[in-house]
């Protein structure tokens, strides 16, 4: 393959985590001039992708749903990039936050002498909301 046959994205490793790959693809496309004009345009695209996910879910086509969910995630990576946020770091922080809140739910359930599995969905939500409130009061 000579230099004329090399594409912009050929140097992006497909062996890295998909989130990192999406971020790198997005950055390269932007560097080549493929970018939304405004932040509002990116939000509009994300909302459009969400609607396409809903349509794919309603169609019952599992492959189409998977592809549309991927498009939605890719667009979310673009939102992160546009705001100067590393998508991988943002997701890791959200994972840590979810783990902290879930730990609260489990501990609160134990304090009530039951397991999470014994709680109703409403009971879990109540404890989840308590965890969120507790985090906000600590910050």
Read off the pTM.
0.85
Sorted by where each begins, the domain ranges of the chain are 12-85, 88-139
Pair of tokens at residue 32: 């080549």
Q: What is the pLDDT of residue 2?
A: 63
**Exposure on the CB side of residue 105, measured as CA atoms within 13 A:** 22
- Provide block-wise average pLDDT over 10 residues at a time, the chain (139 residues): 80 95 96 94 97 98 98 97 95 97 97 96 97 91
Q: What is the pLDDT of residue 57?
A: 97
Q: What is the pLDDT of residue 3?
A: 60
CA distance 69 to 87: 16
Residue 63 per-residue DSSP state: H
Q: What is the pLDDT of residue 5?
A: 82
So what's the architecture of 12-85 in CATH? Orthogonal Bundle (1.10)
**Is residue 53 a contact partner of residue 45, using CB atoms and an 8 Å limit?**
no
**Exposure on the CB side of residue 56, measured as CA atoms within 13 A:** 18
From the CB of residue 130, how many other CB atoms can be counted at a distance below 10 Å?
Answer: 14
Residue showing tokens 């906000």: 136
What is the DSSP code string of 2-71?
-GGG--TTTTS-SSS-HHHHHHHHHHHHHHTT---SSHHHHHHHHHHHHHHHHHHHHHT-HHHHHHHHHH
**Is residue 19 a contact partner of residue 88, using CB atoms and an 8 Å limit?**
yes
Q: What is the pLDDT of residue 139?
A: 75
Pair of tokens at residue 126: 């109540």
Alpha carbon 78 to chain centroid, angstroms: 11
């Amino acid at each position: 393959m000579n230099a004329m046959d090399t594409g912009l994205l050929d140097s992006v490793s497909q062996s890295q985590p998909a989130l990192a790959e999406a971020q790198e693809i997005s950055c390269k496309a932007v560097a080549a001039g493929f970018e939304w004009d405004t932040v509002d345009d990116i939000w509009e695209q994300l909302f459009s992708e969400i609607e396409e996910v809903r349509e794919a879910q309603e169609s019952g086509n599992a492959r189409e749903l998977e592809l549309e969910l991927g498009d939605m995630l890719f667009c979310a990576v673009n939102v992160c990039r546009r705001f100067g946020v590393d998508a991988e770091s943002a997701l890791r922080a959200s994972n840590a936050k979810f783990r902290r809140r879930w730990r609260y739910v489990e501990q609160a359930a134990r304090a009530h002498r039951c397991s999470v599995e014994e709680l109703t969905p409403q009971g879990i939500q109540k404890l989840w909301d308590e965890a969120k409130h507790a985090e906000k009061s600590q910050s």
